[in-house]
Structure 1
Amino acid sequence: MTKRKVTEIVEELATPLVEGEGLELVDVEYKKEGANWFLRIFIDKPEGVDIDDCGRVSERVSDMLDEVDPIPTSYFLEVSSPGAERPLKKPADFERSIGKHVYITTYEPVNGQKSFEGLLEGYEGGALTVTVAVKEAKKTITLPAESIASARLAVVF
């Protein structure tokens, strides 16, 4: 089974459990590190998650995965917050992040570059509008959602 298929199955199975706890399923990651596989589930809520939220979700998801057994190999289950630089994947993620600082990479160069860091100004019609610093000036660019390889919030120091 492919990593993508595992994450899709787990996301489908875990979403109702996570939402039942009043939380949002932000992301699911299935990754091999060294000799071990890790299944990571990232959860959040507006006021942030705590260790109790992670523990409850971990217990519920673990029981469900033991019952359904969709993953053929052994793995470590980790449930945590997505952190300050949470990934942005769904339209709701982009809409909620308008006015925040973001870091975006694209599959192909746009205006000669593949990475953009700046203020997310808008999300409309499947396109992101981002204001980025170019040398000493600011420039607003529009990135179609299908061109985005990855997007996340970015912490500004």
Structure 2
Amino acid sequence: MAEKKKGSTTEIVRALAEPLAKELGLIIWDVTFTKEGADWYLRIFIDKEGGVGIDDCVDLTHAINPVLDSEDPIPQEYTLEVSSPGINRKLTRPEHFEAFLEAPVRVKLIRPLENGVRELEGILIDVAENGDFEVITEEDTTVTFTRKECASVNLIEDYD
């Protein structure tokens, strides 16, 4: 029987994928492992300077498949998807927030603010070491968030 791997599924897959991505001139943006209906999906989001093309996705898929087969970090059946994080990409890691300071973002909260607002848009203006971040809204209001209170934080292309 194989020894149980240490760490979450996404951490294990990230650790396996990062050296392969680097060889291909890519970075791992994010790794998710989610159940949708009866099916599980392992999604590896990749990026690179100048953007990702379909060939980049195919190349990493071909590189990671044999590694996932031999290491077998996931006991159940799943579908592997390798793709770009897209224009409206989710910011999930500290380096994402650092890389997109001064960028427009949409923040969706788990619980509404005191004024009932559950979603707001603004410019990401600061990020602290502990992961808290600040957004300045269209009304020139600065709002500070903790990552724990956010359902999601996404870049937005169409911010005015």
Q: Common fold, TM-score beyond 0.5?
A: yes
The 1:106–1:35 alpha-carbon spacing in structure 2 relative to 1, beyond 3 Å, is closer
The reply on whether 1:69 has 2:72 as its aligned counterpart is yes
TM-score (norm 2): 0.82
Identity %: 40
Aligned residue number for residue 120 of structure 1: 124
Aligned residue number for residue 130 of structure 1: 135
| 1:58-86: CA deviation from partner (whole Å, max 9, x where unpaired) | 01111100111111122211100011111
Letter in 1 for 2:154: R
Task: For residue 115 of structure 1, report the CA deviation from its aligned partner.
Answer: 2.4
Please provide the CA RMSD for this pair.
2.2
| 1:98-147: CA deviation from partner (whole Å, max 9, x where unpaired) | 121101233444444332211112223433121113xxx33121223443
Unaligned runs of 5+ in 2: none
| CA–CA separation in structure 2 for the residues paired with 1:35 and 1:129 | 38
Count residues with an aligned counterpart.
152
| CA–CA separation in structure 1 for the residues paired with 2:145 and 2:34 | 29
Unaligned runs of 5+ in 1: none
Aligned residue number for residue 145 of structure 2: 143
**Equivalent residues in 2 for 1:4-153, closer than 5 Å:** 5-112=8-115, 113-125=117-129, 126-133=131-138, 137-153=139-155
Letter in 1 for 2:125: E
| CA–CA separation in structure 2 for the residues paired with 1:153 and 1:28 | 17
Task: For residue 94 of structure 1, report the CA deviation from its aligned partner.
Answer: 0.7
| CA–CA separation in structure 2 for the residues paired with 1:8 and 1:102 | 26
The 1:23–1:11 alpha-carbon spacing in structure 2 relative to 1, beyond 3 Å, is same
Structure with greater proportional strand content: 1
Q: Which stretch shifts more, 120-129 or 46-55?
A: 120-129
Misfit runs of 4+, over 6 Å:
none
The 1:70–1:55 alpha-carbon spacing in structure 2 relative to 1, beyond 3 Å, is same
| CA–CA separation in structure 1 for the residues paired with 2:46 and 2:142 | 31
Per the alignment, in what secondary structure is the counterpart of residue 138 of structure 1? coil
The 1:111–1:36 alpha-carbon spacing in structure 2 relative to 1, beyond 3 Å, is same
Q: Which stretch shifts more, 26-35 or 73-82?
A: 26-35
